[in-house]
Amino acid sequence: MIDDDTRNRVVDAADALYYARGFHAVGMDAVRDAAGVSLRRLYTLFPSKDDLVLAVLEKRHRMWTDGVSARVQTEADPAAKLLAIYDYLADWFVEDTFRGCGFINAFGELGAADPRVAEVARAHKESFQRYVADLASDAGASPALAPQLAILAEGAQTTAAIAGTPDAAADARAAARILISAALP
């Protein structure tokens, strides 16, 4: 239990630092200080920075999956469930700590140099596309709708991060509504 608590504290600290400042800009000493653990303990839990980065991405995947699923489950209508993805994005984009998609950030910074990061980022994106495909299928839409909606969500995340405004969520939702209307029988 203590190891799990310490591990979680380290991952939480690393996540906050990496997300705010970038992966390259944050060393293990900064993570140690933020987590309140010794460097020895940190390296016992995570033998390398790469191992810690992967643990952070695993946490980010759970946060994303749980957050989107929870928002989608607030809707009963299958088409409304699809639109709820963009409602989740709208809520996320207004958070003070929003810095875009952690997976896109990780891939951009580390993907070319670390094939494991690239693999995890790809798996995350594929997981989201499968989730959207299931929602689209439940709504009775063509399978072609799912990648279109996923691309809108991905583009909204990048646009919101770069523009520094949450407007992309509403724009993506409006475009999704048109696509969904056209795709439903």
Give, for all 185 residues of the chain, the pLDDT tens digit: 558 899 999 999 999 999 999 999 999 999 999 999 999 999 999 999 999 999 999 999 999 999 999 999 999 999 999 999 999 999 999 999 999 999 999 999 998 889 999 999 999 999 999 999 999 999 999 889 999 999 999 999 999 999 999 999 999 999 999 999 999 97
What proportions of the chain, in percent to the nearest 5, are helix, strand and coil? Answer: 80, 0, 20
- pTM greater than 0.85: yes
Parent domain of 158? 50-183
Same domain, 118 and 158: yes
Same domain, 109 and 179: yes
Same domain, 120 and 43: no
Cα dihedral across residues 19, 20, 26, 29: positive or negative: negative
- For residue 163, give every residue at least 6 positions away whose Cβ sits within 8 Å of its Cβ, in sequence order, or none: none
Neighbours of 23 (CB within 10 A): 22
Same domain, 147 and 114: yes
Look at phi and psi of residue 164 and say left if phi exceeds 0, alpha if psi is from -120 to 50, else beta.
left
Contact, 6 vs 40, CB < 8 A? no
